[in-house]
Structure 1
Amino acid sequence: MYGRRTNRPMSDADTLSVFAGDCLVHTDDGTHRGEVIVLLKPDNTVLVHDTDGYQPVAWLTRADSVARTRNGGFSVTAIAGEKTLRVESESAYGFGEYPGSQAGIPVGDCPDCQRALVRAGGVVSCLGCENRFGLPDGASVLDGRCECGLPRMAVARGDRFELCLSRECEPLDGIVKERFDREWDCPDCGGPLRVLRRGGLLAGCENYPDCEVGYVIPDGTVIGKCDCGLPRFETPRGRRCLDSACTG
């Protein structure tokens, strides 16, 4: 969710598990043996690496289930549909569990723990305390900092706004509402369009439920008026009316 700060303890969902040993590696294509490491990722991806190059000897991506045992030696069995990957140690060399995260673009330091903040896709997360902040669609993280210590971001919703990464500090809803609430009229009944949050930001008719007109406010800036009377937006995908179905 956009701008929401979450603090959660490390769990299996954050852990990289590494097994090392002289192993038998069983796949649907046959059996290999060698001194390898087995990497188990939080999404149930299993990779088996030897000393040659970057390509795994065997792998199974996002398995439906993974079972592992450790009793002197170790075994890892991953199943995805009709495919099975099983690794059994003949001689176990070691085992370790390490904190892991999605790698992203550095965007500053976390004000809570001073560890790095990184952006991966639509989320900015801390590598230390597990703070996470969802980004609105189309948002870009800026170099500037909010008074709370978090990075600021730029978001276009009718106009270009700069605000804190955390909605608890500066909610995008309130900024857009202050600028555009009642700014446009409903093309069906003439009532004012109110800025609302229903999953995303909407411009919905004030006369609801008698009038059910509502439009998602796109990622873009208003550049004028459409022939239908609604605002026209400049977006990353080109110019369009507030009403995505309008061809005017």
Structure 2
Amino acid sequence: MSETIRVFAGDCTTTFEGSRSRTQRGRVVVVVKPDRTVLVHDADGYQPVSWLTRPDSLTVETDRSGFGLVARADEQVLRIRSHETSGWAEYPASEAGVPVGSHPQTGEPLVRVGGAVVGLDTETRYGLPAGATVVDETCDDCGLPKISAECGAVFELCVDRACESLDDAVRDRFDDEWTCPDCGSPLSIIRRGGRLLAGCSAYPDCETAFSIPAGVVVDDCDCGLPVFETARGRRCLDGTCAQFE
């Protein structure tokens, strides 16, 4: 991984200049995160005794006598100088997430972080559809975790879109299933502008298109389009439909 966490430890004098000016000395641990945030922890409590979040600049010097750090953000300055015995080390760092298995080829741990499944040891990253969950099954073809995603129906697919595509699954299930309310042509499942849409097959003569919400079809609307059950309740495919105002 390209990102690292640096850890320094020893008898240090810490001086903060700014809104909470103070000078302290003690045997502490200093953590420098990949975004250059500096945290100084002592033996008491869980909060740092001093810190500077995402400074504009950070200077670190190390030699046989110890280490020194200077972090600056606008008018705030955090200075740390070690005395006597001290040490430092650098470790790989990654996002922390919910474990979802391991990569079948590399063996690296996979975790879910927000809207993606990522690898801890490489740049492996699989984006997830909105509202998708990772299930306790693996893909029969590649061995990666599978996901459950709602997009008109419930689809269980490989987390790798190159292996199994949600677009293809929705297209196989709903292509030409619904009718354009403006011209009567079938609605085709398309991706446009990064969104999955039910768009009129008569395009460009008819430009009607509806974004497909994360949910399942449960009924027919009085306007002729499908009704979706979503996390926010029921709605028509047409988000402006008067039936659901």
Would you call these one fold, judging by a TM-score over 0.5? yes
Q: Is the 8 A contact 1:113 1:128 kept in 2?
A: no
- Is structure 2 residue 138 aligned with structure 1 residue 149? no
Give the number of the structure whose alpha-carbon radius of gyration is greater. 2
How far did 1:167 drift?
0.5
How far did 1:82 drift?
4.0
- Is structure 2 residue 95 aligned with structure 1 residue 102? yes
Match of 1:35 in 2: 27
Match of 2:43 in 1: 51
Segment drifting more, 147-156 vs 103-112: 103-112
Match of 2:209 among 206, 211, 214: 214
Corresponding letter in the other structure for 1:213: T
Segment drifting more, 49-58 vs 29-38: 29-38
- Is structure 2 residue 171 aligned with structure 1 residue 182? no
- Is structure 2 residue 218 aligned with structure 1 residue 223? yes
Corresponding letter in the other structure for 2:152: G
Q: Secondary structure at the match of 1:195?
A: strand
How far did 1:201 drift?
1.2
Match of 1:136 in 2: 129
- Is structure 2 residue 181 aligned with structure 1 residue 192? no
Match of 1:165 in 2: 159
Change in Cα spacing, 1:246 to 1:77, as seen in structure 2 (3 Å) is: farther
Following superposition of structure 1 onto structure 2, how do residues 50-89 of structure 1 map, counting pairs within 5 Å? 50-72=42-64, 73-89=66-82
How far did 1:81 drift?
4.3
Percent identity of paired positions between Structure 1 and Structure 2? 56
Corresponding letter in the other structure for 1:99: P
Q: Secondary structure at the match of 1:138?
A: coil
Match of 2:8 among 4, 19, 38: 19
Change in Cα spacing, 1:80 to 1:234, as seen in structure 2 (3 Å) is: farther
Distance 2:36 2:152 in 1: 42
Q: TM-score, normalised by structure 1?
A: 0.88
Segment drifting more, 65-74 vs 113-122: 65-74
- State the Cα deviation string for residues 153-176 of structure 1 (Å, max 9, x = none): 110000000110101110111111
Corresponding letter in the other structure for 1:119: R
Corresponding letter in the other structure for 2:94: S
Following superposition of structure 1 onto structure 2, how do residues 118-129 of structure 1 map, counting pairs within 5 Å? 118-129=111-122
- Is structure 2 residue 234 aligned with structure 1 residue 239? yes
Q: Is the 8 A contact 1:125 1:133 kept in 2?
A: yes
Kindly indicate whether structure 1 or structure 2 has the higher relative contact order, using CA contacts under 8 Å at least 6 residues apart. Answer: 1
Distance 1:89 1:208 in 2: 69
Change in Cα spacing, 1:120 to 1:23, as seen in structure 2 (3 Å) is: same
Match of 1:4 in 2: none
> Which ranges in structure 1 are unaligned for 5 or more consecutive residues?
1-9
Corresponding letter in the other structure for 2:208: V
Change in Cα spacing, 1:45 to 1:178, as seen in structure 2 (3 Å) is: same
Change in Cα spacing, 1:240 to 1:79, as seen in structure 2 (3 Å) is: farther
Corresponding letter in the other structure for 1:25: T
Q: TM-score, normalised by structure 2?
A: 0.89
Distance 2:197 2:59 in 1: 46
Corresponding letter in the other structure for 2:81: E
What is the aligned length?
237
Q: Secondary structure at the match of 1:174?
A: helix
Distance 1:64 1:184 in 2: 54
